Amino acid sequence: MSSLRVFKASAALELAQLRGNRAFVVLTALAAVSFLAMVSLFGLTGAYAPVALIDLDGGPYAKRLVEALLGAHHSFALKSMSPDEARTALYSGRLVGIITIPAGFSADVENGTTVALDVRIDNVNVDLTNDVQRALPAAIVAFGRRHQFPGVRVQMVEHDVIPHDTGYIPYLVVSALALDAMVIAGILGAMATAREFEYGTVKLLRLSPASQAVMLAGKLAVSAAVAASALAVTLVAIVFVYGVVPVAPWTTAFTLLACVAIFTCLGAWIGALLKRTLAAVPLLFGLAMPFYIDSGALEPTRFDGEVIWRIAHLSPVYYAVGVLEWAFHGLRVTPEPIYLNLLVLLAIAVASAALTLGRLSKGVAR
């Protein structure tokens, strides 16, 4: 029997199985979009702390101070409120703080008198508190520099390594693509092999005169193709909904396909080891988050320390995020050059495919 015919037959069988499990496939694809939505929600909390503003002055300097607060490095979402409303909102956790500009602020500033802003902070969360504590002086400095008050002797001069700033959500959604590839391709790959054990059809595979490696290749090719289609939907959402367009489309496509290949094979291996879809799916879900975080998904991994950075090299997601951030935004988030990340991805794809097929064949033979 020719290998091509075996491959085709195996692929057709797998496709029929997936057709019979449409709901499962749809839910897997939905998980991909869910991750995208979730990292976006997380990204939204990285900036613009909700803070009440009580302006008891209303003068020109108060207005300029409000402008400075609004321009303080994406720090505040100011909400004008009455003192009572603000107090209630603060005590019920709906605000991070209250800034009160006192009456007579403009007149005092005009006269060269230093005025204290009353700032009440709900310091329940250190991270939010730190952000507000650091942003307030930044706003005050911007206010002082704008009016060129005498006595300011030092200023910060910023030199950016990258000519443009990249928004946090556009950064996060690109790295979420690698996470999506891991979850979708991994689960579909695991399902392809675990099902053989669950349904007892592994015995038929064992008795078949055809090459087991080719049969497995046919099954995994279909799983990978379905995973790639689901990932394509996510990619379209990123491009058209988020407006993030890759600067290197071919590299993006190649990287995503490599990710699909790697994670389908790894998923298949996990499925063959655990022999149950029910065990493999949560394991992949559980592994996804730590792998994702230790991959430069939120910021270059090396900023988190040498140990974390070294560990990150064990995860293919690290290389994938490195290439994808470059392909989409032109950013380098790994110290390794992009071509090296690409080569590692390619090597992992080839090695994991060979290793998985080998192991699965052995598993089947037993």
Q: Which of residues 10-49 bind another protein (CB under 8 A)?
A: 21, 23-24, 27-28, 30-31, 34-35, 37-38, 41-49
CA dist 266 to 22, 121, 187, 194, 351, Å?
A: 22, 48, 9, 13, 10
Contact window for another protein (CB under 8 A) among 2-10, 111-119, 260-268, 358-366: 111-119
For residue 234, state whether it binds another protein (rule: CB under 8 A): no
Residue 242 carries which side chain, given as an amino acid letter?
Answer: Y
Helix (H, G, I), strand (E, B) or coil at 334: coil
Size of the site for another protein (CB under 8 A): 118
Can you tell me which of 13, 78, 103, 128 binds another protein, judged by CB under 8 A? 128
For residue 199, state whether it binds another protein (rule: CB under 8 A): no
Contact window for another protein (CB under 8 A) among 2-10, 157-165, 222-230, 242-250: 157-165
Output the smallest distance, CB 32 to another protein, in A. Answer: 10
Give, for 185, the enclosing helix (H) or strand (E): helix 168-198
For residue 80, state whether it binds another protein (rule: CB under 8 A): no
8 Å CB contact between 175 and 259: no
For residue 56, state whether it binds another protein (rule: CB under 8 A): no
Measure the CA–CA gap between 264 and 254, rounded to whole angstroms. 15
Output the smallest distance, CB 45 to another protein, in A. Answer: 4
Indicate the residue among 46 and 350 with the shorter CB distance to another protein.
46
Contact window for another protein (CB under 8 A) among 112-120, 232-240, 254-262, 355-363: 112-120
Indicate the residue among 202 and 349 with the shorter CB distance to another protein.
202
For residue 243, state whether it binds another protein (rule: CB under 8 A): no
8 Å CB contact between 47 and 168: yes
Rg (CA), the chain: 27
Indicate the residue among 95 and 265 with the shorter CB distance to another protein.
95
Contact window for another protein (CB under 8 A) among 7-15, 70-78, 230-238, 352-360: 70-78
8 Å CB contact between 304 and 318: no
CB neighbours of 147 closer than 8 A, spacing ≥ 6?
61, 64
Q: Which strands, in side-by-side order, build the sheet including 76-80?
A: 76-80, 49-55, 97-101
User: What value, to the nearest 5°, has the Cα angle with vertex 324 and ends 163 and 184?
Assistant: 150
Output the smallest distance, CB 309 to another protein, in A. Answer: 8
Indicate the residue among 6 and 49 with the shorter CB distance to another protein.
49
Output the smallest distance, CB 50 to another protein, in A. Answer: 5
Contact window for another protein (CB under 8 A) among 105-113, 208-216, 232-240, 354-362: 105-113
For residue 248, state whether it binds another protein (rule: CB under 8 A): no
Among candidates 292, 243, 239, which has minimal Cα distance to 263? 292
For residue 107, state whether it binds another protein (rule: CB under 8 A): no
Can you tell me which of 137, 249, 337, 358 binds another protein, judged by CB under 8 A? 137
Measure the CA–CA gap between 316 and 312, rounded to whole angstroms. 8
**Other Cβ atoms within 10 Å of 108 Cβ, number:** 16
For residue 314, state whether it binds another protein (rule: CB under 8 A): no
For residue 123, state whether it binds another protein (rule: CB under 8 A): yes
For residue 237, state whether it binds another protein (rule: CB under 8 A): no
The interaxial angle of helices 168-198 and 3-20, nearest 10 deg, is 100
Among candidates 17, 361, 30, 26, which has minimal Cα distance to 195? 17
Question: What's the token pair of residue 207?
Answer: 């008795």
For residue 114, state whether it binds another protein (rule: CB under 8 A): yes
User: What value, to the nearest 5°, has the Cα angle with vertex 80 and ends 74 and 83?
Assistant: 125
Indicate the residue among 24 and 254 with the shorter CB distance to another protein.
24
Output the smallest distance, CB 78 to another protein, in A. Answer: 13
For residue 120, state whether it binds another protein (rule: CB under 8 A): yes
